Every structure is written in structure tokens, then in C-alpha cells.
Structure 1
Amino acid sequence: MNELSVGALNIVSLTVSLVVLVIGLVMWFFVNRASSRSNEQIELLEELLDQQKRQNALLRRLCEANEPEVVKEEPQEIKEEDAQDDDFIRLVAER
């Protein structure tokens, strides 16, 4: 009877070891998969950042090339006086 219980104990310990090994392999698989996906996402984000930097540089060049020349404007006071004169004329009824 003593030999039978030792054999059963060996089978139980072997089974527990195999279950722990399988669980460890499954966990390793999912951790490795998540790690590789995150690495791919990081590479894609770095590529997007590089493309955005190039687009910003092109946009700056286009803006600098298309800047209109500075035109001197009339002082604001004169424009405001003209606007007030126009308002007065609009209030007078035409006959």
C-alpha cells in the first residue's frame, strides 16, 4: 500500500508540474504577442511623427513663399470718421 501511494504521489506531482508549465507557456505567448504589437504601434507612431514633421516643414515653406507684401493701411481714425459719416447719411430719408 505504501508503494501505491508513492506512485500516485509521483503522478500527481508530474501532473501539477505539466499544468504549471502549460499555464506558463500560455501566459508567455500572450505577453510576447502584446509586446510585439506594442512595438509595431510604436514604429508606426514614430513614422507618423516623422511624416508630420516633414509636412510642417513644407507648410512653413509654402506660407513663407505665399506671404503678401506688407501694405501700409490708412490710420484707423480716418476709417472710423468715414464710417460715422456713412451712418449719418443712411439715417437721412431720401426724397
Structure 2
Amino acid sequence: MVVELFTSAFCGPCRSARAVLAEAVRLVPRARLTEVDVAADPARAEAAGVSSTPTVLVRTDEGAEVFRAAGAPSLAQALAALARAA
């Protein structure tokens, strides 16, 4: 399963989202966290339908999106999304 975090350089809530997702991935070692800077990769952000930061997407190993959150999710939300992706 993959957790994608879409961020921007001057985004305060992105720091919170990064910390929550790092803890979720630590608790669920099968999950992989990737961070995408929307300024550095606008095409990827546009393809994913991301219009604000932070945005979190959780995908199954097959690529199906099972969770999307605009803003920083709570740890409980992140873990529930990872459970759905499993």
C-alpha cells in the first residue's frame, strides 16, 4: 500500500500531516510513504486531482484509491485508511 502526501514549501499543516503519516507508516511497516512537492511536480498533483496542500491519498498495492483527505489527517484516520488498503 502507498500513502502519497502532496505538500508545498510554505504549508504549516503539511508538517503535521508529515508527522502523523510517518507514525502511521512506522506502525504499519507494509505501507510506503511518498511525498510530492506540488511546486516541483505540478503534473503529478494535477493528475491526482490535488488542489490544496496537504492532501493525502492512500492506495492499495494495485493502485486503487481508498482514502483522500485535504488537510492533515488524525492518526486514527490514517490507520483506518491503511486498514482499508490492506
Q: Which has the higher contact order (CA 8 A, sep 6+)?
A: 2
TM-score (norm 1): 0.20
* Larger radius of gyration between Structure 1 and Structure 2: 1
More helix by share: 1
More strand by share: 2
TM-score (norm 2): 0.22
